[in-house]
């Protein structure tokens, strides 16, 4: 047989009653130093994060609800210039070109942009995190000197032409070819079938003037395999790269 015990009964209390609540201290002493803990959680690039948060808090960078996509796109492009003017996007670039060689700080600052407007973060990521970084990490000193200053100051808005319709971003499956024409000293960019079209090129619809195009080397191959930055009105014609496009 099991005995049932009323555990609410305590010395000096009737069953069913509870002890009186103690008054709360209006100014309790915190168990931890909240400010110090918050600073610790910001990590190695705490100063960069705080600076980026202050920038993201400015109304010039905030999304305005109700804008058409055309007006929103134009506003975000203007916000990119605002980031340039406030030295918020050059941390990862070489110091000899005005950057800071600080890749970790660059990522930390980039993460904070999303609180202002996710579209701004994405467009900045295409310009400096994809287009600019591809030129910086895959290009030569010649490419750096020729292209990076304009990429950094937004004189050359750019695109990152890697994704293809048939496979997404599986670089090993890229079907677009780039065949060098030594007579013209140009590359012929060719998408041999529909699935090879690059339909999803960020920044190409309106603003892009250059592109880093990922492609298989065509034949004859007379040049070292290295990335090419293509200049031209990226928004003209079909958004993807059409077959036989010569640059």
For position 202, what pLDDT does the model report?
Answer: 84
Among 49-63, 171-185, 207-221, 227-241, the minimum mean pLDDT is found in 227-241
pTM, two decimal places: 0.73
Residue 214: both structure tokens together: 């990922």
145-191 confidence digits (pLDDT tens) = 999 999 999 999 999 999 999 999 899 999 999 999 999 999 999 99
Going by pLDDT thresholds of 50, 70 and 90, the confidence category of residue 218 is: confident
Token pair of 152 as six digits: 């950094």
More confident residue, 204 or 228: 204
Q: What is the pLDDT of residue 169?
A: 87
Question: What's CA 31's distance to the chain center, in Å?
Answer: 38
Segment 214-243 shows an average pLDDT of: 55
Q: What's the whole-number average pLDDT of the chain?
A: 84
3-class DSSP string for 196-230? HCCCCCCCCCCCCCEEEECCEECCCCCCCCCCCEE
Domains and CATH numbers, the chain: 44-141 (1.10.540.10), 171-246 (2.40.110.10)
**Distances 110 to 209, 210, 212 between C-alpha atoms, Å:** 23, 22, 21
Give the per-residue pLDDT at 33.
86
Q: What is the pLDDT confidence band of residue 15, given thresholds at 50, 70 and 90?
A: low
Q: What is the mean pLDDT of residues 46-70?
A: 94
Over range 16-40, report the average pLDDT.
Answer: 73
């Amino acid at each position: 047989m099991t005995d049932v015990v009323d555990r609410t009964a305590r010395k000096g209390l009737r069953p069913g009653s509870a002890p009186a609540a103690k008054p709360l201290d209006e100014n309790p002493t915190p168990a931890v130093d909240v400010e110090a803990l918050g600073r610790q959680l910001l990590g190695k690039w705490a100063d960069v994060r705080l600076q980026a948060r202050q920038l993201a808090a400015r109304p010039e960078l905030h999304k305005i609800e109700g804008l058409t996509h055309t007006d929103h796109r134009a506003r975000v492009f203007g916000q990119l210039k605002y980031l340039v003017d406030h030295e918020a996007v050059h941390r990862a670039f070489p110091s000899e070109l005005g950057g800071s060689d600080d890749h970790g700080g660059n990522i930390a600052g980039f993460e904070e942009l999303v609180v202002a407007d996710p579209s701004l973060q994405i467009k900045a990521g295409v310009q400096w995190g994809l287009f600019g970084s591809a030129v910086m990490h895959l290009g030569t000193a010649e490419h750096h000197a020729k292209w990076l200053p304009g990429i950094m100051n937004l004189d050359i808005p750019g695109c990152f032409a890697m994704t293809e319709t048939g496979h997404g971003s599986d670089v090993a499956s890229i079907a677009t070819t780039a065949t060098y024409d030594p007579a013209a000293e140009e590359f012929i960019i060719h998408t041999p079938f529909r699935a090879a079209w690059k339909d999803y090129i960020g920044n190409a619809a309106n603003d892009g003037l250059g592109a880093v195009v990922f492609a298989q080397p065509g034949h004859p191959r007379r040049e070292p395999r290295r990335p090419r930055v293509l200049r031209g009105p990226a928004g003209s014609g079909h958004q993807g790269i059409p077959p036989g496009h010569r640059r």
